[in-house]
């Protein structure tokens, strides 16, 4: 199946009408210090547009753990990206994050928080925070600025960016548990 068909077919888990533009991907990874990042976790890898950009910038000894709930996208990623630093895990991020036993530097997420139920949203955020340390930076995009209050409720510091050059235009939230 074509990735674009799968995107629309599974709208509840993708929350998108198109894949992220290169402008959005660049905005998402702008805050990452690739010279220091050892472990990056990607939530909702989709067709791999963010995955590829992360790998292109990562150190040779860094690890990218990409979590994806859609089996079709997992297969696509596995077949199209050959990189020893990439670990593709197919499953529910809420459950998978709880089992992580590694210090994560960055969590980069494309999960559609806005389309999740309030319970799922709270469970996912609890899992993200449980997998994070005080130094972890959580980066999330959303088509809705109204998500700012949700992220601000969960993090001490939230920076917001915007790109109009995406379909639809998107906001990027960079979140930290500590203020530095």
Q: Where are the beta strands (DSSP E) in 12-153?
A: 39-43, 63-68, 86-90, 106-109, 137-142
Q: What is the pTM of this model?
A: 0.90
Torsion angle, alpha carbons of 97, 102, 106, 111, to 10: -10
How do residues 127-173 score in pLDDT, each as one tens digit? 999 999 999 999 999 999 999 999 999 999 999 999 999 999 999 99
State residue 18's pLDDT score: 67
Question: What are the backbone dihedrals phi and psi of residue 82, each rounded to the nearest 5 degrees, phi first?
Answer: -115, 95
Count of residues making up the chain: 180
CA–CA separation, 107 vs 177, rounded Å? 13
Residues of the chain with confidence (pLDDT) below 70 = 1-18, 180
User: What integer pLDDT is reported at residue 178 of this predicted model?
Assistant: 83
pLDDT at position 179 is 72
């Amino acid at each position: 199946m074509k990735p674009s068909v799968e995107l629309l077919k599974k709208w509840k888990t993708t929350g998108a009408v198109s894949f992220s533009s290169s402008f959005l991907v660049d905005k998402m990874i702008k805050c990452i210090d690739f010279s220091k990042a050892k472990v990056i976790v990607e939530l909702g890898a989709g067709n791999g547009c963010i995955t590829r950009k992360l790998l292109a910038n990562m150190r040779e000894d860094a690890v990218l753990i990409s979590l994806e709930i859609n089996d079709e996208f997992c297969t696509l990623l596995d077949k199209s990206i050959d990189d020893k630093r990439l670990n593709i895990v197919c499953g529910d991020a809420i459950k998978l994050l709880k089992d992580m036993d590694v210090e994560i530097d960055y969590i980069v997420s494309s999960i559609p928080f806005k389309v999740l139920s309030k319970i799922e949203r709270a469970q996912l955020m609890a899992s993200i925070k449980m997998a994070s340390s005080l130094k972890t930076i959580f980066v999330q995009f959303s088509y809705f600025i109204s998500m700012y209050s949700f992220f601000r409720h969960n993090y001490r510091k939230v920076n917001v960016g915007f790109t109009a050059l995406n379909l639809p235009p998107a906001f990027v939230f960079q979140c930290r548990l500590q203020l530095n």
